[in-house]
Amino acid sequence: MDEVAALRAGALARAAARTPGPPMATEDSRIAGVPVRAYQSGATPITVFFHGGGFVVGDLDTHDAQVRRLAHATGASVVAVDYRRAPEHPWPAAVDDAEAVLTSLAGTGAPLAVAGDSSGGMIAALAALRVPGLVAQLLICPNADPTLSSPSVRSEADNPFLDPGVLRRWIGWWLPDAAVRSSAAVNLLVADVHAQPPALIVTAEHDPLRDEGEAYAARLGDAGVPVRHWREPGLLHDFPTMRDADPGAAAAEDRFLAAARELLS
């Protein structure tokens, strides 16, 4: 699809214009047949990162700087996953890829965490439902309810950074069966979360996904899962991508990274 190719090319161009992340050793390979990029291999724990992009755009290169900052700040190895994207590969391809990588890495015996931003946060949390025994989930502005029915979706309908109408269309590409969007297999506000790993969840005030991310944090807490959550005031969805232009966004990501280090230590 020409439209999708243009969307992905635009995401890559925007990422290329941002400040690179900290220098460190990386290696591109495959785990369980899925393309991955490993950062500072050999350190522990291993954090498996899933990029955002509405289940349609984003890849290893669009999020390279962000993943480098995560690895540098936490001292962990990070494995970024180039999961299959919609519309070519609808549900459950992305989460199947996530599960395959996590299951393979679990065989190493190293402690494992998951991390992700936006749609990648949802993929990380859904993978954690399938693979028990993880030590943490580190989520920034996660999508948690693919029905997009929370109040903030309506109140932020004119959001300049994340258009709910566009996201609804992309989720339709990823989850063509509307009934699945409400099911426990994919909706974190319906799924049984009692066995989920301890969570760090940061939301943003001006984000259509704010309320669903906060509802997921509340559900974890109600289920007895240790959870640390806060809302960053005044910021837009997926604020780490704006750190070059907005000192407030940079400070917010730095707070997230410091808390991630604490949770993983």
Contacts with 86 (C-beta within 8 Å, 6 or more apart), sequence order: 55, 56, 94, 170, 173, 174
Torsion-angle region of residue 241: left (phi > 0), alpha (psi -120 to 50) or beta? alpha
Cβ 207 vs Cβ 123: under 8 Å: no
Rg (CA), the chain: 17
> Can you state the angle between helices 93-106 and 119-130, rounded to 10 degrees?
50
Kind of pairing, strands 77-81 and 34-39? Answer: antiparallel
Kind of pairing, strands 136-140 and 199-206? Answer: parallel
Q: What are the C-alpha distances in Å from 142 to residues 2, 29, 69, 136?
A: 28, 27, 19, 15
265 is an active site residue: no
34 bridge partner residues:
31
Cα-Cα end-to-end distance for the chain? 44
30 bridge partner residues:
35
The number of residues in the chain equals: 265
Cβ 62 vs Cβ 53: under 8 Å: yes
> Can you state the angle between helices 247-264 and 64-74, rounded to 10 degrees?
50
Annotated catalytic residue within 118, 119, 150, 152:
118
For residues 150 and 40, what is the distance between their CA atoms, to the nearest angstrom?
39
Active site residues: 118
